[in-house]
Amino acid sequence: MQTVAAAVARAREVFGSGTTRPLAWRLEQLGSLRRMLVQRRREFAEALASDLGKHETEAQLTEIGFVTAEAAHLEKHLEAWLRPRPASVPLAVQPAKAWTELTPLGVVLVIGPWNYPLQLLLAPLAGALAAGNTVVLKPSEHAPATSAALARWVPEYLQGAAEVVEGGIPETTELLSIRFDHIFFTGGEVAAKVVLRAAAEHLTPVTLELGGKSPAYVDASTDLAKAAKRLAWGRFMNAGQTCVAPDYILATEDVLVPLERELVKAIGALFGPDSARSACYGRIVNDRHFDRLAALADSSTVVHGGERDADSLHFAPTLLRPAPGDAVMGEEIFGPLLPLVPVSGRDEAIRMINAGAKPLALYVFSNDADTRRAFAEQTSSGALCFDVPAVHLMVPGLPFGGVGRSGMGAYHGEHSLRTFSHERSTLAKPLWPETLALIYPPYTKTKHRIISTLVAPAGKAPAPGPDRS
Ligand code: NAD
């Protein structure tokens, strides 16, 4: 087994050789990544089932197929996106040509979480390879089967382009002591701070994909049965262990009562009368998270579900009616608990949302144009979706990322290419004619006049506005 330092050194050597820059290399890597996902689909699906009880179809939708589609999208558009973009040249600098080019950063470190252990490691990988970098992948130790599958197959299909370093905090700490050209981290706040501090030592740029509480607001103008089905799907997919899952629902009491009934029906329709017997329903990742979720449920009021089994790590889809101050409203739930929280109306909902950290996603179920506009104009979140949770991830043209405490930076599609590239400004100015002579010292009255009118005009002072005293 190679050491952490050797893996990084190999990635640096390959990048340094220059082979990663041509379009052909990048397309070849994206093709190999897709080939791996198609040819090893079974092995990856089995690993995801072992780690999280993921159904094969869900694994295909949210992990294996998701990355395949992302790689194909990058392959399709890469050549066009890499074309230099001209910039207009002001008169003072003419004659000259100016343009920008996307250039690779170097060696990228991708650190992944356990909840979508394949997607959240390989989707950034696709972007980093498209940008012409080499990559060191650090899968989560809490999804050991997926980590092992990645360590087995990635080096075979992406030899030289990507290295896999398995392990937990000690291995990550060692990785973070080494200088990278970019660090892409998906996970929680505590580890994010460790990553950011370590990156500061090397002044390495960082993308942080974090979590938090993503609210959903529902009003009476929407179809509650359809809204409930979508909310239940978004919340209970992967047994609630989804960063963009609706974390809690805000609605007026007259909406919450029928919505609760519809949610119960929706849960039954998705997972049958007993989710423990449903092959479509996932499992909690480990004992620690199971105990954390049990404590959250036990310290609140369960109105539906709550059944669980520590041996099989099954935790039923659970609806809560929390009291103010319940622990479940104080932290990201990241499990199959859905609190239903009464508010007096949309203004109170907006106040509550704005009182907390900026969410990764905000979901509004309403047919009322004013209400939609109010949420759009008066809140901030990584993403805002009307009438559906989570599927914004599947639109490659939308940047995926948080804001404030839910993260910094974004990726997917062209946004990935830009995240993992440096947009280099390039300027070419012929030595003849020597127009710069006009701005060289020694300065004269004529040069002053030219500079003041053409090169750096003084302009007119803005008129004082009504509030400028
Ligand atoms: P985590 O922060 O515990 O772990 C993420 C990675 O960091 C793992 O690879 C782990 O080995 C490493 N790590 C953990 N502690 C470390 C430390 N002290 N020093 C160095 N490395 C360390 O996160 P998790 O529990 O795997 O994932 C859950 C969190 O991730 C949730 O908050 C969730 O919302 C968030 N998340 C965000 C997204 C997104 O795309 N925005 C997606 C999935 C999960």
Total tally of structural domains belonging to the chain: 2
User: For the chain, what percent of residues have pLDDT higher than 70?
Assistant: 99
- Asked if residue 150 has its Cβ within 6 Å of ligand 1, the reply is no
Please check whether residue 325 lies inside any domain of the structure: yes
Cis before 442 (ω within 30) = yes
Range(s) of the domain holding residue 70: 4-210+411-423
Q: Are 121 and 136 part of one and the same domain? A: yes
pLDDT tens for 12-41 read 999 999 999 999 999 999 999 999 999 999
In the chain, the largest separation of any two C-alpha atoms, in whole Å, equals 89
CA of 110 to the centre of ligand 1 (A): 11
Q: Are 156 and 243 part of one and the same domain? A: no
Q: Are 202 and 245 part of one and the same domain? A: no
To the query of whether residue 79 is one of the catalytic residues in this protein, the response is no
pLDDT tens for 37-52 read 999 999 999 999 999 9
Choosing from 63, 209, 262, 332, the catalytic residue is 209
Q: Are 116 and 226 part of one and the same domain? A: no
Q: Check which CATH number belongs to the domain holding 369 and give it.
A: 3.40.309.10
pLDDT tens for 232-257 read 999 999 999 999 999 999 999 999 99
**Least confident residue range of 64-73, 368-377, 432-441:** 432-441
Q: Are 373 and 418 part of one and the same domain? A: no
Please check whether residue 449 lies inside any domain of the structure: no
Please check whether residue 94 lies inside any domain of the structure: yes
Q: Are 211 and 364 in contact (CB under 8 A)?
A: no
- Asked if residue 360 has its Cβ within 6 Å of ligand 1, the reply is yes
- Asked if residue 211 has its Cβ within 6 Å of ligand 1, the reply is yes
Look at residues 240, 248, 249, 251 and name the one whose alpha carbon lies nearest to residue 289: 240
Question: Which pLDDT score is estimated for 454?
Answer: 81
Question: Which pLDDT score is estimated for 2?
Answer: 61
CA of 191 to the centre of ligand 1 (A): 6
pLDDT for 338 beyond 90: yes
Question: Which pLDDT score is estimated for 469?
Answer: 44
Q: Are 318 and 178 part of one and the same domain? A: no
Average pLDDT of the chain to the nearest whole number: 96
Measure the CA–CA gap between 457 and 451, rounded to whole angstroms. Answer: 7
Please check whether residue 467 lies inside any domain of the structure: no
Q: Are 328 and 390 part of one and the same domain? A: yes
Q: Which amino acid is at 30?
A: L
Q: Are 121 and 147 in contact (CB under 8 A)?
A: no
pLDDT tens for 174-201 read 999 999 999 999 999 999 999 999 999 9
Q: Are 58 and 206 part of one and the same domain? A: yes
pTM: 0.96
Question: Which pLDDT score is estimated for 361?
Answer: 98
Measure the CA–CA gap between 160 and 175, rounded to whole angstroms. Answer: 18
Closest atom of ligand 1 to 209 CA is: 41
Look at residues 332, 143, 335, 151 and name the one whose alpha carbon lies nearest to residue 239: 335
pLDDT for 374 beyond 70: yes
CA of 319 to the centre of ligand 1 (A): 26
Q: Are 269 and 301 part of one and the same domain? A: yes
Please check whether residue 441 lies inside any domain of the structure: no
To the query of whether residue 209 is one of the catalytic residues in this protein, the response is yes
Question: Which pLDDT score is estimated for 459?
Answer: 80
CA of 212 to the centre of ligand 1 (A): 12
Q: Are 246 and 197 part of one and the same domain? A: no
Please check whether residue 430 lies inside any domain of the structure: no
Q: Which amino acid is at 376?
A: A
Please check whether residue 433 lies inside any domain of the structure: no
- Asked if residue 32 has its Cβ within 6 Å of ligand 1, the reply is no
> Which residue among 401, 434, 458 closes a domain?
401
Q: Are 37 and 162 part of one and the same domain? A: yes
Query: Which amino acid residue places its CA nearest to atom 19 of ligand 1?
Result: 169
Please check whether residue 98 lies inside any domain of the structure: yes
Q: Are 69 and 143 part of one and the same domain? A: yes
pLDDT category of residue 438 using cuts at 50, 70 and 90:
confident
What's the per-residue H, E or C state across 2-39?
A: CCHHHHHHHHHHHHHCCCCCCHHHHHHHHHHHHHHHHH
